[in-house]
Structures are given as structure tokens and as C-alpha cells.
Structure 1
């Protein structure tokens, strides 16, 4: 099953709708969904290393525009949708403390979290909840997400064949490692905020 999913992602890279799906997944990952774009981005870049920069740009655009939705959820819908999403990650007790103490360092939190595969929606929703300055929010989001996806594009553009061989040879281990990083992010984030 895992091999079929991987093969589908690689074969889907040439489909005209692939960038749109990648954009949609990245958009919702920055606002409401726990599913990261990496399981689709990596096989797409491996299948088409010549388009790695395009795919990184699509992900960056999706992440930034989705980040605004996350900010809006935090700022306008925190009491209903935002509190529920933050509650899933066990951060509701820290929210009041963050409002009073985070304005000075929140830009660095945003920048740091945006450079990791830790679910970005938590930071975008909290940014809205904290009414963090929208211009600083935009700057931090653009710098961190463009850098994150560009680093992936560079690695896959220049080392794509080696990475592809490794992934295909160790597909179950690679999938498990990706799952541990993504799921582990849900448990690590409450400790570092």
C-alpha cells in the first residue's frame, strides 16, 4: 500500500493539476489541516527535479496565503474554531500567558517554527489570537516558509537521484521517519512554546 501511494505521488507529478493540489494541501496545512505537503512535494520533486523550484514556489505561496486564514481564525474566530484547534494541541493554558509575554519575541517564534516541519497552523492561529503585528507576521511567514521550501527544493534538485534511491530502497523506514517528525511536532510544540 505504501509503495502504491509513493508510486501514485511520483506519477502524479506530471499531471497538470499536481501544482494545484500541492497548493491546496499547503494552504490548508497553514490554517486548519494537520497533513503536511511534504509527502506530495518530495515525490513530485524527485520525479521532476527540473520543476523543484516551481513546486517550492507553489508551496511557499500556499503557506503564506493559508497563513492569513490561520491568522484570521485566531483573530476573529478564536473563541470557537481557534480555541478548538489550539485545544487539540493542548496549548489553551499557555494562551493567556502568551498574550502578555510574547509580543517581544513572537517574531522569532514565528520564524523558527516556519523553518521546521512542525505544524505551521498553530503559529498562524496563535499569531492572530495574540493580534501580532500583521506586517511582522507577513515578513516572518514569508522568510521562514520560502526558506523552508527552498531548502527542500535545493536538496531535491541537486541530490534528487540519491534521495530517490534511498527512499525507494527504504520506503517503510522513510515513511515512518516522516510520520515521527510530523506527529512528534504535535507533542514537541507545547513544550517549546
Structure 2
């Protein structure tokens, strides 16, 4: 929960360490991390809404913050979805959502999807492969999650594009029928 707010150590590292110690509990740890993250998401959002600029200016360099703000304005949904299961600290996305006054219900929905992918991918790896999964996670999970994020973002952009085209067609049909 604290990972979605201000905790400096991402929950991912705690999950990997604890899962490596006892792989039989990896699914349980994934569930705890997932639920905690979802509980912390609206708290991070509230921090962002009330004093987010102050917090983000202390955590990020100005040029990174400006770039993140620009990307977030253009692609907020994709940014949250991809960011929720990449190695980038999720607290940045919850706080940024509050700063940008992004709808909380959308943030929660995208966080639920992305965080589930992240926590349960790690949990399943450790549950199935035991301690050998630690090497897989160290070497490949970041790339796998980044690739999965890219796939999800592309699918999301395609769906969004199709919806825009449908709306445009519908507005053209309405305009033609009213003339």
C-alpha cells in the first residue's frame, strides 16, 4: 500500500525477496501486494491532488517531470496502464494522476489491471519455479513486463483509434441525414 504513496523501496523488490525465501507463499504475497497497492492508489491520488507538484518536484528532476506531464496529458490511460507494471515506481503515476485531475475511477481500473499482471506474474514464476525464478526475474522480468506493457499500450491505442473513427462516421452520418 505504501508503495503507491511514498515508500522509497518499490513493493516489487520486497515481493521478489520474500518469494525467493519461501516460494510456496508467492501467490499469497502477490495477493497482499496487489490488494495493498489498490488500497494505496487513491491515497497517492489524494496526495497528488492536494500537494502533488511539491512532492513531484522533490522526487523528480524538472525536465523529467515536464516530459512526464506532457506524456500524461496526451496518453494518460496508456501511461497508467504501462506504468502500473513496469519497474518505474507506481507512486509517480498515482501522484501524477492527482496532479492532472485524472478521473480516480479510471486510475483504479487501469491500476487494477496492470498491478495484477505485475504482482501475479512474479508470484506465479516463484510458485512454479521456486528459487530458480529469482534468476529469471533478475534477468528477464523487467524486459517481459516492458514488452507486455508495450503490447497492452498498442492494443489500447488501436481500440481508441477504432472508437474515434466510429464516432467520426456516426457524426458524418448524422450531418448528412440532417441536411
TM over 0.5: yes
Contact 2:4 2:40 in 1 (8 A): yes
Unaligned runs of 5+ in 1: 1-26, 168-173, 182-193
Counterpart residue number, 1:113: 83
> Residues 84, 155 of structure 1: CA spacing in aligned structure 2 closer, same or farther, 3 A cutoff?
same
> Residues 113, 96 of structure 1: CA spacing in aligned structure 2 closer, same or farther, 3 A cutoff?
closer
- In 1, distance between residues paired with 2:86 and 2:68? 25
Unaligned runs of 5+ in 2: 143-179
> Residues 115, 97 of structure 1: CA spacing in aligned structure 2 closer, same or farther, 3 A cutoff?
closer
Shift of 1:76: 1.8
What TM-score do the two structures reach when normalised by structure 2?
Answer: 0.67
Contact 2:12 2:119 in 1 (8 A): no
Shift of 1:40: 2.6
Between Structure 1 and Structure 2, the one with more helix by share is: 2
- Of 131, 136, 144 in structure 1, the residue corresponding to residue 101 of structure 2 is 131
The RMSD of aligned alpha carbons is 2.6
Contact 2:3 2:10 in 1 (8 A): yes
Counterpart residue number, 1:89: 60
What TM-score do the two structures reach when normalised by structure 1?
Answer: 0.62
- Of 12, 26, 29 in structure 2, the residue corresponding to residue 52 of structure 1 is 26
> Does 2:48 match 1:74?
yes
The aligned length equals: 138
